[in-house]
Amino acid sequence: MLSVTGVVLGSIPSPSSGTFGLGPLTVHWYGVMLLLGIAGCLWLTGRRWVSWGGDWDLIFRVALWGVVAGVVGARLYHDITSWNQDPAIHAHWWGFAAVWDGGLGIWGAIPAGVAVGARVVRRSGNSVRLMMDAVAPGLLLAQGIGRWGNYWNQELYGRPTSLPWKLRIDAAHQTGIQAKYRSTGQFGYYHPTFLYEFAWDSIGVGVLLWIDRRFALRRPALFALYVAWYTTFRTFEEILRIDPSNYFLHMRVNFWVSLGVWILSVGFFIWWQFIREPSAKAVPKPRPVATGPRMAVPKGRVR
CA dist 85 and 88 (Å) reads 9
Residue 189 to residues 30, 166, 271, Cα–Cα distance (Å):
21, 6, 44
Q: What are phi and psi of 166, to 5 degrees?
A: -60, 150
Q: Could you tell me which residues are beta bridge partners of residue 158? A: 241
SS3 28: strand
Is the model more confident about 65 or about 169? Answer: 65
- Predicted confidence at residue 280, as pLDDT, reads 57
The angle subtended at Cα 55 by Cα 52 and Cα 31, nearest 5°, is 105
- Residue 198 is predicted with a pLDDT of 97
Reported as type and span, the H/E element at residue 27 is strand 25-28
167-183 as b/e: b if 16+ CB within 10 A: bbbeeebbeebeeeeee
Q: Which residue has the higher pLDDT, 162 or 271?
A: 271
What is the per-residue pLDDT for 187? 60
When comparing pLDDT for 203 and 5, which is higher? 203
Residue 108: pLDDT above 50?
Answer: yes
| pLDDT tens sequence across 264-284 | 999 999 999 999 987 655 444
Q: What is the residue-averaged pLDDT of the chain? A: 84
Average pLDDT over residues 59-84: 88
Q: What is the pLDDT of residue 17?
A: 87
More reliable by pLDDT, 183 or 122: 122
Mean pLDDT of 87-110: 71
pLDDT at 171: 81
Instruction: Using the predicted structure, report yes or no on whether residue 32 has a pLDDT greater than 90.
Output: yes
pLDDT-based confidence at residue 186 (cuts at 50, 70, 90) = very low
pTM recorded for the entire structure? 0.85
Q: Is residue 10 within 8 Å of residue 122, measured between CB atoms?
A: no
1 pLDDT more than 90? no
Residue 285: pLDDT band (50, 70, 90) is very low
Instruction: Tell me which of 53-62, 92-101, 263-272 is least confident.
Output: 92-101
Peptide bond into 284 cis (omega under 30): no
